[in-house]
Amino acid sequence: MVGDFGCGECLLGQVLPGNLVIGLDHVAADEGVVVCDMSSTPLEDVSLDVAVFSLSLVGVNWRDYLKEAYRTLKPYGHLFIAEPEKKWRDRMEELKEAVEVAGFQIIGDVRQRYIFLYLTATKA
């Protein structure tokens, strides 16, 4: 089960047809999207295998989104973050620290591909 935090039109569900993808966002751009503040979702504790943030760590409470992902992930669940490099260029340590403070262990290095950064972590 995948939680797509800040899913927009929930396109991730279309490219992962063999998985249950739950789209979460502040606004429903698609009828299947769960409308909520991503810092307080209706998901049960330890219900997700994967949490994804793709261009969605925005707003003043983005750190709370990470805490919510931690709450909803099963032990050893994975966190995947894809964000614009330009946004985090001078704040990379802040992002990594927030991920770790939320309880995650970062796996490998933060990778850059084209204009995006990719961070992978696991629920410690």
Rounded to whole angstroms, the Cα distance separating 89 from 78 reads: 23
Rounded to whole angstroms, the Cα distance separating 82 from 111 reads: 10
Q: How confident is the model at residue 66 (pLDDT cuts 50, 70, 90)?
A: very high
Q: How far apart are the first and last CA of the chain?
A: 18
Bridge-based pairing state of the strands 34-35 and 21-25: parallel
CATH superfamily of 38-123: Vaccinia Virus protein VP39 (3.40.50.150)
pLDDT tens-digit map of 83-124: 999 999 999 999 999 999 999 999 999 999 999 999 999 998
Q: The pTM is what?
A: 0.95
